Each structure stands twice: as structure tokens, then as C-alpha cells.
């Protein structure tokens, strides 16, 4: 157990530092520190998502009995991925900090103290940071110890929620390089909407449906048949997903309605109308608020 935790603690921060160094020094790129940090953080998130989704697919397809069957990859990947959520809190803060510097706040207001930036970051990204903390302090012990080896199938299906992460990360990168007007951005926006809805919103109803088939009971009876802790956990995990999905829907509406309206706008305003659509924040990629609006209040 300790070996796997140590491996994850080395792998994710190490991959971040390695990719940042490559982006800064690779011939033909030589990006700035800020660009390298932001893209590296998103690259690591995408790689983790691919790994988690692959593990989830292997686990889910290997379990015939969704309650009793076990797969060694379940607990192993949970242990390996726990350090990622700790690392990602730091990576999100670094992205937020460099976003402030890129948007000229150092020029307008002088260098922002680290403590002030950290306080602003925690206020702005409170829900995402809380989600990561809960994953480490609650979901980790529940998944590894409380389950007592049961329900590996459900754990594998929950890993598949990460399928939506690469499209979120790509959207951030496209916005960072002002590619909001491109077809790729619009296609990726639609893909993000679809994958998030299927993999994060429909995920929990599907888990209840799978158990209803296993136990041969009506779907509506499942909440009354499972331990109350399961219902509470599902509700707490699903609530932020619904909130983030509502923000993505608002962003998608602005993207596609803005693109149609932009045909009637002068060239000087066309990009501005599209650039605000489906724009994720510096860290979590779900909010539609603009960084300038938030930081100007601090």
C-alpha cells in the first residue's frame, strides 16, 4: 500500500515538472514559465483521466457479479491516484497565480502577495478545492476500507467519470491561445457537454439502475434498499456535478448562440462575442465567470 502511494506521489508531480521543463526548453517552443505551468497542469490532468478511465473500463468489464467480484486494479489505482488530488490543488493554484500575472494585475496593482493570491484562489475555487479534499479524506478511506472488497464494479464505473476531463483541459488550452473562433473549439465544446452529461450526471442514476437489475427490484426502490451512507455519498458527489453541468450548459448556449449572432457583427467585435462562450476558469474548467471580474474585487 505504501509503495503505491509513494509511486503516485512521485509520478504526478514528477510528470508536471518534466513536462514544464520540456515546454520551456524544447526547440521550437520555449514557452514562458506561465504558459508551461498552465499547459503542463492540464496535460497531467488529461493523462490521469485517461489512466483512470482505462482502469475503470478494465474493472467494470471484468466483474460479472457487481457486488462480490473483485479486481486487484481497484484498490491499487485508488492508492495510486490519491496523491494526484493533493498535487492538483497546488497545480490549480499555480495556474491561477500565473493567470493573474498574465492578465496584467502586476502592472496595474503591483505584485500580488502570495498570501493574498492564495486567499483569493481559495475563495474563487472553494468548491473544487473542497471536492479534492473530500476525495482524499472521505472517498479514499471509504473506497479502500469501508467497502471491504465489495462493489468493485461500481468503483470502476465511477472511474469512467474522468472521460470528460480531456475535453475540459483542451478547452482551456484553446482559450489560453485565443482559439475560441475555431471549429475545433466548437466541436470540443459539444464533446465536453456530451461527455460531462453522460459520464458525470447520468453516472449516478446508472449505478442505481445497475443495482436494481442485480437485486431484481424496481428502480425507485433502490434508495430504500441500500445503506443510507450510499445515498448520502451519491447525493454529495452528484450535487457539484449538477452545478458544474449547469455552468457548462450556459457556456455552450453562449458559444453556439454567440457564433450565430457574430455573423451579423462587425469584424472587430466578432471574436469578443465568441471568446466569452464556454470559457472555463483558470483552475477547474467549469465556471463561466471571468478571472478579471473576480480578481478586481480583491
Q: Where are the domains of the chain?
A: 2-295
Would you state the cell numbers that stand for residue 8, as one nine-digit string?
A: 503516485
- Distance in angstroms (rounded) separating the CA atoms of residues 84 and 236: 21
pLDDT, one tens digit per residue, over 105-141 is: 444 444 557 778 888 899 988 989 999 999 999 889 8
Which of 140-149, 181-190, 207-216, 241-250 is the most confident on average? 207-216
Please report how the helices 203-215 and 152-159 are oriented relative to each other, as an axis angle in degrees rounded to 10.
160
Element holding 144 (H helix, E strand): none
Beta carbons of 71 and 63 less than 8 angstroms apart = yes
Please report how the helices 183-196 and 228-261 are oriented relative to each other, as an axis angle in degrees rounded to 10.
160
Residues 6+ apart with CB under 8 A from 21: 36
Q: What's residue 253's pLDDT? A: 81
- Distance in angstroms (rounded) separating the CA atoms of residues 81 and 132: 12
- Distance in angstroms (rounded) separating the CA atoms of residues 217 and 293: 50
Within its chain, how far is the Cα of 29 from the centroid?
26
Binned at pLDDT 50, 70 and 90, residue 178 comes out as: confident
Amino acid at each position: 500500500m505504501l509503495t503505491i502511494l509513494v509511486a503516485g506521489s512521485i509520478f504526478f508531480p514528477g510528470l508536471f515538472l518534466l513536462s514544464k521543463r520540456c515546454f520551456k526548453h524544447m526547440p521550437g517552443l520555449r514557452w514562458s514559465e506561465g504558459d508551461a505551468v498552465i499547459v503542463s497542469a492540464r496535460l497531467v490532468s488529461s493523462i490521469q483521466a485517461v489512466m483512470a478511465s482505462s482502469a475503470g473500463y478494465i474493472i467494470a468489464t471484468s466483474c460479472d457479479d457487481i457486488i462480490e467480484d473483485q479486481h486487484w486494479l481497484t484498490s491499487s489505482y485508488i492508492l495510486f491516484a490519491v496523491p494526484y488530488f493533493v498535487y492538483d490543488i497546488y497545480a490549480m493554484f499555480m495556474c491561477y497565480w500565473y493567470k493573474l500575472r498574465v492578465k496584467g494585475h502586476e502592472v496595474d496593482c503591483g505584485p500580488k502577495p502570495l498570501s493574498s493570491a492564495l486567499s483569493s484562489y481559495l475563495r474563487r475555487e472553494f468548491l473544487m478545492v473542497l471536492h479534492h479534499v473530500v476525495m482524499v479524506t472521505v472517498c479514499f478511506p471509504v473506497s479502500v476500507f469501508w467497502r471491504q472488497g465489495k462493489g468493485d464494479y461500481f468503483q470502476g464505473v465511477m472511474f469512467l467519470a474522468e472521460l470528460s476531463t480531456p475535453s475540459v483541459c483542451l478547452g482551456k488550452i484553446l482559450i489560453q491561445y485565443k482559439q475560441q473562433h475555431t471549429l475545433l473549439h466548437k466541436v470540443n465544446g459539444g464533446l465536453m457537454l456530451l461527455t460531462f452529461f453522460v459520464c458525470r450526471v447520468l453516472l449516478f442514476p446508472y449505478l442505481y439502475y445497475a443495482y436494481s437489475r442485480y437485486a431484481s427490484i424496481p428502480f425507485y426502490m433502490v434508495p430504500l434498499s441500500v445503506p443510507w451512507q450510499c445515498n448520502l455519498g451519491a447525493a454529495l458527489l452528484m450535487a457539484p456535478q449538477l452545478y458544474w453541468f449547469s455552468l457548462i450548459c450556459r457556456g455552450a448556449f453562449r458559444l453556439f448562440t454567440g457564433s450565430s449572432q457574430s455573423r451579423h457583427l462587425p469584424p472587430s467585435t466578432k471574436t469578443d462575442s465568441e471568446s466569452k462562450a464556454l470559457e472555463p476558469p483558470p483552475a477547474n474548467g467549469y465556471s463561466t465567470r471571468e478571472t478579471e471580474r473576480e480578481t478586481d474585487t480583491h
